[in-house]
């Protein structure tokens, strides 16, 4: 739960002289489902990497009063900033509960797993309920559906009580039903936390975004409500160069 906002100002990230993010500013507040979109290579993941300490950035990324840039990864996590990756990073051979235990910083022996849910922490219980995984406690993460794996990753962030969730393409590869369930989940989570979603799925973005920032070649191309960015000719041009492209949900995108 947080009242603080995430405010990114003039963020720049260079890789050996190549400017991946060239002065990007945006903010995200609790209560909104904030989207960051843009074509391949626009710099979306790099923004998240810089905010979470995985890439070296200049400028500023503040969570409330706290500056995140320049801090070590684990310190940023401790401030309540959590993220997911474009490819799911759960432990496939461990069960859902074991994954959540690890996220919570607990070790549970194989024997204790045989016991019932009496042993489950309230925070884990809540995260399971919230993400619809309560029935999968003892399922090895490796055999979860693609959607469930993403929800497990989100559950892991909830168990850590992340105040900021930075989600990199959470619905890529999901079925339509899983997308809808994820959108609803993000809405619920966003009521009390900061949720920033990187996505290529325009239909998903239109349904769930409260505000959108469009990146292109490391810069902010457009920013505003879904209606604002859809009506922006610059955005239409980038998305396949036709006025219809963004409206019909055809991102300029290789398939994953």
> Residues in the site for Mg ion, rule: CB under 5 A?
45
Question: To the nearest whole angstrom, how small is the minimum distance from the Cβ of residue 58 to Mg ion?
Answer: 20
**Closest to 193 in 3D by CA, of 85, 82, 88, 101:** 82
53 binds, among ligand ATP, Mg ion, none (CB under 5 to 8 A by kind): none
Question: To the nearest whole angstrom, how small is the minimum distance from the Cβ of residue 72 to ligand ATP?
Answer: 18
20 binds, among ligand ATP, Mg ion, none (CB under 5 to 8 A by kind): ligand ATP
Please say which residue, 42 or 220, places its beta carbon nearer to ligand ATP: 42
Distance between CA atoms of residues 194 and 191, nearest Å: 8
Phi and psi, residue 174, nearest 5°: -85, 155
95 binds, among Mg ion, ligand ATP, none (CB under 5 to 8 A by kind): none
Please say which residue, 66 or 206, places its beta carbon nearer to ligand ATP: 206
How far, CA to CA in Å, does 39 sit from each of 43, 61, 123, 133, 252?
9, 23, 37, 32, 6
Three-point CA angle 164, 91, 116, nearest 5°: 90
Give the pairing of strands 66-67 and 58-63: antiparallel
Phi and psi, residue 91, nearest 5°: -85, 105
How far, CA to CA in Å, does 221 sit from each of 22, 24, 208, 232, 239?
12, 10, 20, 9, 12
Question: To the nearest whole angstrom, how small is the minimum distance from the Cβ of residue 42 to Mg ion?
Answer: 8
- In the chain, helix, strand, coil percent, each to 5? 40, 25, 40
Please say which residue, 45 or 84, places its beta carbon nearer to Mg ion: 45
Applying CB under 6 A, the residues found at the interface with ligand ATP are: 15, 18, 20, 38, 40-46
Contact 168, 83 (CB under 8 A): yes
**Closest to 250 in 3D by CA, of 200, 210, 205:** 200
Please say which residue, 50 or 152, places its beta carbon nearer to ligand ATP: 50
Phi and psi, residue 168, nearest 5°: -95, 100
Question: To the nearest whole angstrom, how small is the minimum distance from the Cβ of residue 38 to ligand ATP?
Answer: 6
Please say which residue, 47 or 96, places its beta carbon nearer to Mg ion: 47
Please say which residue, 1 or 18, places its beta carbon nearer to ligand ATP: 18
Please say which residue, 15 or 91, places its beta carbon nearer to ligand ATP: 15
Question: To the nearest whole angstrom, how small is the minimum distance from the Cβ of residue 171 to ligand ATP?
Answer: 13
Question: To the nearest whole angstrom, how small is the minimum distance from the Cβ of residue 129 to ligand ATP?
Answer: 31
Distance between CA atoms of residues 91 and 53, nearest Å: 22
52 binds, among Mg ion, ligand ATP, none (CB under 5 to 8 A by kind): none
46 binds, among Mg ion, ligand ATP, none (CB under 5 to 8 A by kind): ligand ATP
Question: To the nearest whole angstrom, how small is the minimum distance from the Cβ of residue 168 to Mg ion?
Answer: 6
Work out the burial of residue 114: count CB atoms within 10 Å of its CB; fewer than 13 is exposed, 13-18 middle, 19 or more buried.
exposed
40 binds, among Mg ion, ligand ATP, none (CB under 5 to 8 A by kind): ligand ATP
């Amino acid at each position: 739960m947080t009242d603080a906002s995430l405010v990114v100002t003039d963020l720049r990230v260079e890789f050996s002289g190549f400017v991946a993010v060239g002065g990007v500013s945006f903010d995200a507040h609790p209560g909104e489902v904030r989207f960051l979109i843009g074509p391949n290579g626009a710099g979306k993941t790099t923004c998240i990497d810089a905010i979470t300490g995985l890439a070296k950035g200049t400028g500023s990324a503040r969570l409330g009063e706290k500056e995140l840039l320049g801090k070590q990864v684990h310190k940023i996590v401790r401030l309540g900033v959590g993220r997911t990756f474009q490819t799911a990073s759960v432990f496939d051979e461990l069960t859902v509960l074991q994954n959540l235990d690890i996220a919570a910083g607990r070790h549970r022996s194989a024997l204790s797993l045989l016991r019932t849910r009496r042993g489950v922490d309230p925070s884990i219980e809540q995260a399971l309920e919230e993400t619809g995984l309560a029935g999968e406690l003892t399922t090895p993460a490796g055999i979860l559906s693609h959607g469930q794996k993403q929800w497990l990753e989100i559950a892991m962030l909830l168990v850590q009580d992340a105040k900021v969730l930075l989600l990199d393409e959470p619905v890529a590869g999901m079925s339509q039903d899983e997308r809808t369930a994820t959108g609803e989940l993000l809405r619920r989570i966003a009521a009390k936390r900061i949720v920033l979603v990187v996505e290529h799925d325009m239909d998903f973005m239109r349904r769930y975004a409260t505000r959108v920032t469009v990146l292109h070649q490391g810069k902010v191309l457009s920013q505003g409500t879904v209606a604002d960015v859809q009506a922006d000719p610059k955005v239409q041009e980038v998305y396949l160069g036709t006025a219809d492209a963004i409206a019909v949900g055809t991102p300029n995108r290789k398939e994953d």
